[in-house]
Every structure is written in C-alpha cells, then in structure tokens.
C-alpha cells in the first residue's frame, strides 16, 4: 500500500517534495495519520536552513495525530485515537507529514476523550511543551495570587498556548512580543498586558525590579537573562526555547539572593507518564474553540511555501496540516 509523504533527500543535492512511498518505519503500532503540524523546526528542515535532519532520507514532521489501524502492542487497538510527538520524529525517525506511519506503542499517547486528532494537531508539540511549562510553574506552587506570569515569544505556538492555559487558570499574563501589529490578537487570547520585546532584548542589571511570579520563556539569550532578573523572590522560570540564541550571559545573583528556580523543559524524550499528564492538562485547561482561532489549516502540498512564510516571520499562531488533501 502506497501513501503520500513529504520526503527529504540530500543526494546529490537537497530536495523536499511530496511523493508516494511504500516503506514504513519500525514499530508495533501502525497509524493512519489524519493531521500533522508545521513547527519552526519543521520549517528549518524543509527549507534546509539548519542541520535538523540527521538521518537521510527523511519523512518530515515532528507531530502526528490519527487513528490506530493495526497493533501488536497490548495497550492499543484499531480505532484508538492517538498522538505522537517527539522521539526524534523528522530528525532521526520518519515523521508525521505523511498519510501513514508505524511507531513503538510506548511512544504513543491515547487522546483524552475531549480531544479529536485535529485538536491534537492544533496543539501539537508546541502546545504539549507549553503544558509542561505551565505544569512546572504549578508544581513549583505558583498560584494567581502570587502575581503576573510573563510569557515570551508569545505569537508562536508554545507562547500562544501557554498564554491561553495560564489565562484560563486565572493568572494575569504579560505577553512579550516583537510584533507590534499583534497586540489585539494577544489580548484576545487572554493577555492582560502586551510588552515590546525590545525592552528585554538588551543587557540589564543582574537584579532588577521584582515584577513576575513566574515566566514561560521560548527565546533564551538576553531575554531569559532579564526575565530571571525580574522574577520575584522564590519564583520560577520554565525555559523551553532558544529562538534568540543558546547563550545565557547571566548572573547567579537572582538564584542565590532571591531563591528563584530555572526549570528546563525537554518535551522530546519525556516519560509516558509526563506526556499523559500534559495532555490531560490540555484537555481540561484549554479552550479548543479559542485554539481554533489561531490555527490555519493547509494541505500537504502547501507545507513548503508555508515553511518559507514561517521562517520569514510572516506567521502568527499555528499551521495544521491535513495530510490527506
């Protein structure tokens, strides 16, 4: 049985095209994929802008959501709605921008009954990572009474969904963005205050005015440094991205003198228990109708031009890919 997939090759030169395939990766659960996503990492791979792909040839896509077709794994039966995120998809393992795939059952999460495969794709790795960030702050003990939460890079997938989850939970959310045209959009998602990213993108004092009980940071570099300097005593930061850089030219002062905590969030190789917990948090704490307002649905063949648009900074919200059109 053949299926369509977005196939990347590099011999003799890089190529990305939708083609028909027969082979499937190894695994004990075979999936019919309904939807995938287009993430920033996918865009880099599709446009050959960064060494994302480490095994060639590659089927792109770090997310897959669909229905089990065949299974020899005891936890899954045909007809189960599942989501697959991380585990090297689109990097070392054939990914989700395809109509079918096969995967180890231990990597899959059964969707909570409140979510459809399309909902799961709208959320994707971005939203699943956002949920893990929010859970890190909640496990730290933060509540809305402790003060506002700062979310950086908030027009992207992680930032948008973190904003929605936090606002739904009753937090006052301050949204940091470099896109001045998106202030009304962010207020519509629940932001109480929208800040210009330039305010935090330059070096500042190691210890600054205490403003935030916590932070969800997707940018890294100088923004993360300033965020740490502005977190209140015994507050926390969940860091999950490096869109501005991998460097961290910081002082230990906020950690020692204010007792703040920096949590690193790795969603790619998280345990099954943590994945299930994050998806349960999304099912209970995310307004799916509002989520759909930040989603643009495209077909498989539209993914390449959409990737170029994403890398050019011309996108707000999420791209969901219907792999069967």
Q: What is the pLDDT of residues 242-281, one digit of tens each?
A: 888 999 999 999 999 999 999 999 999 999 999 999 999 9
Q: Which homologous superfamily does the CATH classification assign to the domain defined by 126-264?
A: NAD(P)-binding Rossmann-like Domain (3.40.50.720)
The CATH architecture one would assign to domain 3-110+294-322 is Alpha-Beta Complex (3.90)
3-state secondary structure 218-266: CCEHHHHHHHHHHEEEEEEEEECCCCCECCCCCCCHHHHHCCCEEEECC
pLDDT at 1: 85
What is the layout of strands, in order, in the sheet containing 15-21?
15-21, 3-9, 58-59
Ranges in the chain, pLDDT < 50: none
Domain ranges of the chain: 3-110+294-322, 126-264
Q: Do residues 39 and 52 lie in contact, with contact meaning Cβ atoms separated by under 8 Å?
A: no
Q: Cα-flanking dihedrals φ and ψ of residue 149, to 5°?
A: -115, 135
C-beta separation of 323 from 4 below 8 A = yes
**How much is the pLDDT for 317?**
79
Predicted confidence at residue 147, as pLDDT, reads 98
**pLDDT confidence of residue 212:** 98
> What's the pLDDT score for residue 149?
98
Q: What is the pLDDT of residue 314?
A: 82
Q: Which residues contact 313 (CB under 8 A, 6 or more apart)?
A: none
Same fold flag, 3-110+294-322 and 126-264: no
Distance between CA atoms of residues 242 and 240, nearest Å = 7
pLDDT at 249: 94
Q: Model pTM?
A: 0.94
Cα separation, 86 vs 119, whole angstroms: 17
116: phi > 0 → left, psi -120 to 50 → alpha, else beta; which?
beta
Structure confidence at residue 68 (pLDDT): 98
């Amino acid at each position: 049985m053949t299926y369509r997939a977005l196939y990347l090759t590099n011999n003799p030169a890089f190529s990305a095209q939708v083609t028909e395939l027969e082979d499937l990766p190894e695994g004990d659960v075979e999936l019919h994929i309904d939807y995938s996503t287009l993430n920033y990492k996918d865009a880099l791979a599709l446009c050959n802008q960064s060494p994302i792909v480490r095994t060639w040839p590659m089927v792109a896509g770090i997310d897959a959501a669909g229905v089990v077709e065949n299974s020899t794994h005891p936890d899954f039966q045909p007809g189960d709605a599942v989501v697959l995120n991380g585990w090297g998809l689109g990097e070392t393992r054939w990914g989700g921008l395809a109509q079918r795939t096969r995967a180890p059952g231990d990597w899959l999460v059964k969707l909570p009954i409140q979510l459809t495969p399309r909902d799961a794709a709208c959320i994707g790795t971005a939203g699943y990572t956002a949920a893990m960030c929010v859970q890190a702050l909640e496990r730290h003990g933060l509540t809305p009474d402790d003060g506002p939460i700062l979310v950086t890079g908030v027009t992207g997938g992680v930032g948008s969904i973190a904003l929605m989850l936090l606002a739904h939970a009753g937090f006052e959310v301050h949204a940091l963005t470099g896109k001045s045209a998106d202030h009304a959009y962010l207020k519509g998602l629940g932001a109480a205050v929208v800040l210009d990213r330039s305010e935090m993108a330059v070096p500042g004092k190691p210890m600054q005015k205490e403003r935030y009980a916590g932070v969800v940071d997707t940018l890294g570099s100088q923004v993360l440094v300033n965020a740490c300097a502005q977190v209140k005593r015994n507050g926390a930061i969940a860091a999950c991205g490096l869109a501005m850089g991998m460097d961290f030219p910081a002082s230990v002062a906020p950690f020692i003198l204010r007792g703040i905590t920096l949590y690193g969030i790795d969603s790619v190789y998280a345990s099954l228990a943590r994945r299930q917990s994050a998806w349960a948090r999304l099912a209970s704490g995310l307004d799916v109708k509002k989520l759909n307002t930040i989603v643009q649905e495209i077909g498989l063949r539209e993914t390449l031009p959409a990737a170029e648009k994403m890398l050019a900074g011309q996108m707000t919200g999420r791209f969901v890919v219907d792999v069967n059109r």
